[in-house]
Amino acid sequence: MEAEIQAFIAYLHNVRKISPNTEMSYRRDLLKVRDYLKGQGVEDVRKITSTNLNSYVLYLEKNRFSAATISRNIASLKTFYHFLFREGLVASDVAETLHAPKVEKKPPEILSAGEAVKLLEQPGGDTPKEIRDKAMLELLYATGIRVSELISLKLCDINLQMDYLVCRDEDRERVIPFGNQARAALARYLDAARPQMTQKTGSDCLFVNCQGQPMSRQGFWKLIKYYAGKAGIAGDITPHTLRHSFAAHLMEKGADLRSVQEMLGHSDMNTTQVYASRNYSRIKEVYAKAHPRQ
């Protein structure tokens, strides 16, 4: 099965040109299946049956993996077997009959405007690291970009004169404005911190670590956890929390759904609709408290 997984990953990388994180996710899911089936004495993809794959799904359920994790694993298997069948590496698509469990959609975790400000104010020191951290947090909240997009930004993607950045996806790009606070934090970082951090590497990445290398997702994840704790913000705060908060706060202030969709880079309006629904719930709550004919 190892050779087929490698061929599939090469196809995703060279033909589909998926992001490195998605590629890693596929690889991780398929290697887990490989290890499970190897333990069952099945290593040849041509001998794997739908019963084997259903047995793996039951194994995930018995070990209390979340519905979202199980659904992702099934999606990985379906895509893998579709590739194998199309390439003639298997006689039939045995993953076709797998059914994903229903995933309960939880409302996104959103900071209040006060909490967001408190979080952004935490890195207030003069060290290059704190100046960088301040710029990263301000820019993430100002634009709503994904953390993968934030750490992939290059110097040429930022326009401080016109206050916007260019965010490049696999096959498209979008222009996102940012405000005075983010511009000031960025300008300070570019002037007072980044030159010190990149003097040995000459990196063209916008944000770098203390060794002058590109920032990692894990590094930024730890960063935001640290400042959330320092701000006394309860709950599971992640980089995506600032993205959700950006969208929700725009909607609360009257931004139209289409503009928010474009800034977030959502291909489907329904994905953005969750923020409008949240705003409607808040309006109903205000109405119920304020209207005299309740």
pLDDT tens digits, 118-161: 999 999 899 999 999 999 999 998 888 888 889 999 999 999 99
Amino acid, single-letter form, for residue 294: Q
Q: What is the pLDDT of residue 261?
A: 76
Residue given tokens 């069952």 in the structure block: 40
Residue given tokens 């020191």 in the structure block: 125
Nearest CA among 214, 191, 176 for reference residue 135: 191
Q: CA 155, CA 204: separation in Å to the nearest integer?
A: 6
Lowest mean pLDDT across 19-23, 34-38, 189-193: 19-23
**Coil, helix or strand at residue 177:** strand
Please say if the pLDDT value at position 274 is more than 50: yes
Q: What is the pLDDT of residue 186?
A: 96
pLDDT band at 104 (very low <50, low <70, confident <90, very high): low
Q: Which helix (H) or strand (E) holds 30?
A: helix 20-39
Q: Which two tokens stand for residue 58?
A: 């039951």
pLDDT band at 280 (very low <50, low <70, confident <90, very high): very low
Task: Give me the chain's average pLDDT, please.
Answer: 84
Please say if the pLDDT value at position 288 is more than 60: no
Q: CA 267, CA 76: separation in Å to the nearest integer?
A: 21
**DSSP bridge pairs for 205:** 154
pLDDT band at 252 (very low <50, low <70, confident <90, very high): confident
Q: CA 209, CA 230: separation in Å to the nearest integer?
A: 21
Please say if the pLDDT value at position 279 is more than 60: no
Helix axes 239-252, 257-264, angle to 10 degrees: 160
Task: Provide mean pLDDT across the span 63-73.
Answer: 86
Lowest mean pLDDT across 21-35, 48-62, 160-174, 199-213: 160-174
Q: Which two tokens stand for residue 71?
A: 């659904």
Q: Which helix (H) or strand (E) holds 159?
A: strand 158-159
CA distances from 80 to 26, 85, 94, 99 (A): 9, 9, 11, 15
CA distances from 110 to 115, 151, 222, 239, 246 (A): 9, 22, 19, 11, 9
pLDDT band at 277 (very low <50, low <70, confident <90, very high): low
Q: What is the pLDDT of residue 258?
A: 76
Please say if the pLDDT value at position 275 is more than 70: no
Percent residues over pLDDT 90 in the chain: 41
